[in-house]
Structure 1
Amino acid sequence: MTTVIWGTSFPILKDTLGTIPPSMLVAIRFGIAAIALSPWLRNINRRLLRDGALLGGILFLESTCGLLGLETISANRSAFIVSLNVILVPLLGFLIGQQLRRQILIAAGLAVCGISVMSWEGGGLGVGELLTLASAIGVATYVLLLEAIAPRHSSLALTAVQAWVMFLIGILWMLPSVPLQDFAVGDRLPALLYLGLVVTIAPIWIQATGQRWVPATEAALLYTMEPVFAAIFSFWFLSENLGIRGAIGAGLILTATVISQYRRGSATPTQEIALNEATTVAEERFREKVGSNR
């Protein structure tokens, strides 16, 4: 579900940028999400505020880089570059002591080839591609941090703090750059509501909930289909085509993301630990029930 929602966001953001400045779009989008999530801020504490501010700040930078990149490159090209976060998660994990599997290096090589082919079709690696690559790095960093932070807090409370942090930073960015007389959304209100209520809230909440049990590298696997959905929706909404070289590059990137997450065996260590913990709890409850019936 998250990948489908994200897939729709690329063409909608691209289309909305035609009439609304990036800073204004960011402020309104995250403002809608923040207001909707306000009821879950009642039990806020210092630790939740600190963790939410960290995640919200990273998510704001990631979203802003991706949005600025969309001003100069197509929505489908942006989606395939952002999907590199699937490979970047284990690469960044290696820097903090996690094991780096051999297929990650193979996948990284394929991904570099894919970006090169896509950029070649567009006349070289431009500012838009570099900003979008920075967005992918931001996504990978966010996923890794969320793996450690999500189990500490309520998913909705953590999502609410992140939304407010992104909204406040967005306001600080928008006010100096957009005159008040230009503050008008016109017929873009439905798109802004969708971006704020669905594209922003749903994925952040789903990630915060899911990564209580799913490690970052496995969560990243679920995001591999995002650029495929983005390409479909971009063709549907914007009539965008990747072109021959673009399609080859996209295929290499998609192949790289799948290879990077391939694992032999039926269960990961995390799954085995979770199974053992569940078995232990079940045994304890069974003993308590037997003892109470004696």
Structure 2
Amino acid sequence: MTITSPRIATVMLLFVSLVWGVEFVLIDLAIARIPTHTFNAIRFALAALSLLPLLWFSAKNEAPLAYNKLIPAGLLLGFLLFIGFYTQTEGLRFTSVSNAGFITGLNVPLVPLLGLFIFRKAVSRPVWIGVCTATIGLYLLTMGDNLAFNYGDVLVLICAFAFATHIVLTGRLVDSLPIIPLSIVQLVAVAVYSTFAALADPNPAFYFPEATPIAWHEQLFNPIVLLAVLIAGVFGTAYAFWAQSASQKLLESHKVALIFAAEPIFAHISAWLFLDETLGEKGMIGAGLIISGMLISELADRQRPAKVRPLEHSAAPD
């Protein structure tokens, strides 16, 4: 399969934002029933298993893997995901969904900043205008008049830095490493990190200290937990990070961050459809600003020639 234009990559990432927006409330319900580390361990293990068929189908076209580069890169990216998903999920216990949505969205301005500081990669002025426009839109969409910070917000801010760093480093690594093996290694790494964290935690792995002890299979097969694990594991994790890695062969890191800023828009749309919640005037303006930020950034780079590369980059690095 081949990505023929950045437009296809953009559609792929918009679907990721859609899944993340829809699953947000479901995960919030699940972590009220199962500890964060345990949920993430199961979620990422399922995600890694979901990608194994793709690895098998693409194996005949792949050159020998350079494990000395693939494994360290996957472990590093996996550690960033582990930190990001733990702090975001745990932060939801102490802060509102609106605060978490806005602060996580701060990875939009953080991506070009970190790209500049880490790799000395500058972006154009119109891109900065688009990034700032989308950030203002994120605030109006998710926060409104609320500007109260707490411990949970600090955790989610760490998550924003972790996700931004992950996007920046992925953009650098995908040009020299095969997509599917890199995705599987980092997903397995998150599952392993989360498992060790769950075992090291003094609290029980499958129920909260204040809850009645139950067997692990009773906890795992709770309908809400099971649904959250399946949707988040297969679509929100396996597909999401495979699509991100594949699309970053065609899209700059700041564009990926801007597309992911659409997540709260989809979250509000799903809340409107299923929970009869209204967006409000400020929310409508915020959504419009996020979309405007994407368009400003896209138009700024319109004159650049598109990079057309295979979706499966199987050549081993030099």
TM-score w.r.t. structure 2 length?
0.72
Structure 1 residue 149 displacement after superposition: 0.6
Counterpart residue identity of residue 267, structure 1 = Q
Describe the shift of the 1:242–1:75 C-alpha distance in structure 2 as closer, same or farther (beyond 3 A).
farther
1:169 to 175, 179, 193: 193
CA distance in 1, matches of 2:36, 2:302: 45
Which residue in the other structure is 1:32 paired with? 46
Quick check: 1:76–1:234 contact (8 Å CA) kept in 2? no
1:145 to 169, 174, 191: 169
Counterpart residue identity of residue 229, structure 1 = F
| Unpaired segments ≥5 residues, structure 2 | 1-14, 208-215, 310-318
Counterpart residue identity of residue 88, structure 2 = G
Which residue in the other structure is 1:82 paired with? 104
CA distance in 1, matches of 2:296, 2:95: 26
Task: Give the match's secondary structure for 2:240.
Answer: helix
More helix by share: 1
1:265-280 correspondence runs (5 A): 266-268=302-304, 271=305, 274=307
Describe the shift of the 1:172–1:98 C-alpha distance in structure 2 as closer, same or farther (beyond 3 A).
same
Is 1:125 matched with 2:144?
A: no
Which residue in the other structure is 1:199 paired with? 236
Identity rate, percent: 25
2:120 to 75, 97, 122: 97
Q: Deviations over 1:78-131 (max 9, x none)?
A: 233322222211121221312244452785498479659966844612222222
Describe the shift of the 1:107–1:51 C-alpha distance in structure 2 as closer, same or farther (beyond 3 A).
closer
| Unpaired segments ≥5 residues, structure 1 | 278-294
1:35-50 correspondence runs (5 A): 35-38=49-52, 40=55, 45-50=67-72
CA distance in 2, matches of 1:84, 1:123: 15
Which residue in the other structure is 2:77 paired with? 55
2:245 to 208, 220, 228: 208
Structure 1 residue 202 displacement after superposition: 0.4
Task: Give the match's secondary structure for 1:145.
Answer: helix
1:5 to 19, 37, 42: 19
CA distance in 1, matches of 2:112, 2:297: 9
Larger Rg: 1
CA distance in 2, matches of 1:221, 1:14: 24
Task: Give the match's secondary structure for 1:214.
Answer: coil
Quick check: 2:17–2:262 contact (8 Å CA) kept in 1? yes
Which residue in the other structure is 2:183 paired with? 159
CA distance in 1, matches of 2:206, 2:149: 37
Q: Deviations over 1:227-248 (max 9, x none)?
A: 1002222455566667777x48
Task: Give the match's secondary structure for 1:179.
Answer: coil
Moved more, 234-243 or 134-143: 234-243
Structure 1 residue 9 displacement after superposition: 2.4
Structure 1 residue 261 displacement after superposition: 2.8
CA distance in 1, matches of 2:52, 2:301: 43
Quick check: 1:84–1:253 contact (8 Å CA) kept in 2? no
Counterpart residue identity of residue 87, structure 1 = P
